Structure 1
Amino acid sequence: MLDRGTHTGGARSVPSWVPQGAQLYLAHTEHGSSIRALARASGCHASTVLRRIRAYEARRDDPMVDEALRRLGRHARARDKAGSLDQETAMTLDTQKTDVAEVTETQLRIEGLRILRRLCEAGALLAVAAQMDKAVVVRDGDQGDPTRTAVVDRAVAEAMALKGWIACDAPGRIARYHITKAGRATLGAMLAEAENRASGFGEAHAPFSAADADEDGARQPRRARYSVAESPLIALARRRGRDGTKFIPDDLVRAGERLREDFELSQMGPRVTQDWGRFLTTPGGGGAGGGHARGFEAARRRVEGALHDLGPGLGDIVLRCCCHLEGLERAEKRMGWSARSGKIVLRIALQRLKRHYDSLGEAGGMIG
């Protein structure tokens, strides 16, 4: 890593998750640090520093990488002048809802896991339009109709692009991004870390950033140990009956994806150990938007409302298969059901879930 000395310039003012190459680029372009000074500070050869700086210069054709570097550079310049933002920059930032310089490593870890899993699904891509503060993940259906499966703050998407987890397929008014090899490696490390932590071996696993290959290719990304390409619901949706019709129609798939999106957003809050099962049996329930609640709290209340409406049995199967991504066979075994009965109950549950969202009107649409 860079030495946080006088030669690193703006590197002291950027978040800790910013790659070393981007820190070198900002220190050189925004603060005028020489290549040799940066080489001494980072402990590597000047040619290596120059190669990393040129690599980020070439990546500025990517609109989100360009925007991330521009905003990080502005923050670094402003804070280095007087230790705080100057008035002009502060007024500019006040008009923006999100800024990549304010993204924390914890936020990037949580949101990155959620979005990268979605981007691993077949036909999925992340789309972001100019001047919009949100990016969306969409997945192409069999008939070519896209389904929106996730929403993320633009600042987080910019951070993911800067890290090299996603790359732009088609720059333009609406830019489209796909998950990269480095993104898949990072996702595999995140999932393995979560699995080890749940098994009591979290201390033995390296942080998720260790999965990233360095910019010279010296470190190889960790290989994912299992597939994350699709959820049990998507796998079931591919099946067709004898008459050729889908066993799970697209509108029911969207209802299940809607619940999953709310469920994953709700996990970003402090109640990550929420016992969702109790909402299947207790009276009352959450509403569509949770009153004045926003963000993860509103998402949690929407999940509560859906589970209350479904009740035991139906709520159990969608919670397991749509939210916890548990396979049908395992769900049937754990719930004591007969073999091959789970798909019938899941379809009934999704029909009920769709009716629940339809009853909410506009509040039942995909968030974002």
Structure 2
Amino acid sequence: MNKIRKITAATAIVGAEPDARAGLDRDAARLLAALAQDGAYALEDPFAEDGLIVRVGGAGMSLGSGRFPRSAGDTLLAADLAERTFGRRTRITISPAGRARLKRDAAGTGTPYLAQHLDLIEGGAGDGPDRPVRDASESPLAWMARRRDRDGRPLLDAACFEAGERLRRDLTTAALMPRMGADWSGVKVDGAGPRDPSAASDAMLASRQRVRAALDAVGSDLSGLLIDLCGFLKGLERIEAERRWPARSAKVVARIALARLAEHYGLEREAVGPDRARMRIWRG
């Protein structure tokens, strides 16, 4: 009974409200999210004896990112969600366990521990908890979109990335890619019997038409590369090895092919149009 009273009293002194999503008090959950930023760290607040200040450092510049009570940092350190580094000034940074905790929280109740080790994103149409997901780290398009060149720009802009993803979705729906095992996810239209072109669904046939039109628009010289990149998800190094291309040449050719594909889909790098849309009025 005494232990229960002590715990209740300690909780009342701290005055922290529990965060149902992360299992931490609200200040600790906010601090953990702030420390997850690139180059973020927490220092003792020079203007508050019992406080912490979070800064985001990078490229020789340090920016403030909020103030938090010291108890939030103690909570994260006790739970091994943050670690303390000693130097000229003691800093608190997020630990690998803290980043894994954030991934589990972001995944919700679906696949939290799978999302902890993989980079899961929504990979298909649908709503609800059964919406399909896939590992973005296996996609060469996602790798190119995250990498940056010497000028700090992404290797793949948003229009080219969306064009490649649209072709990948059409290739998947069209069931044009070979499988290494039994297909248990095929769409059954007539309920039974062998599947042939006459039994294909309308969505599958429409996807095949879109794939054929996209590859024809890109051209035969680049269509094979797009199938390897978006369909088989082959990496750039593997493409260069199989085609005996010079090193780092597949990156250039892939960007040209995806730019031509984005042009076919009508995707632009920047939104263009009139400053103000014309208002339409329907009269009954």
Bin of the TM-score, shorter chain as denominator length: 0.3 to 0.5
Q: Which has the larger radius of gyration?
A: 2
Higher helix fraction: Structure 1 or Structure 2? 1
TM norm structure 2: 0.41
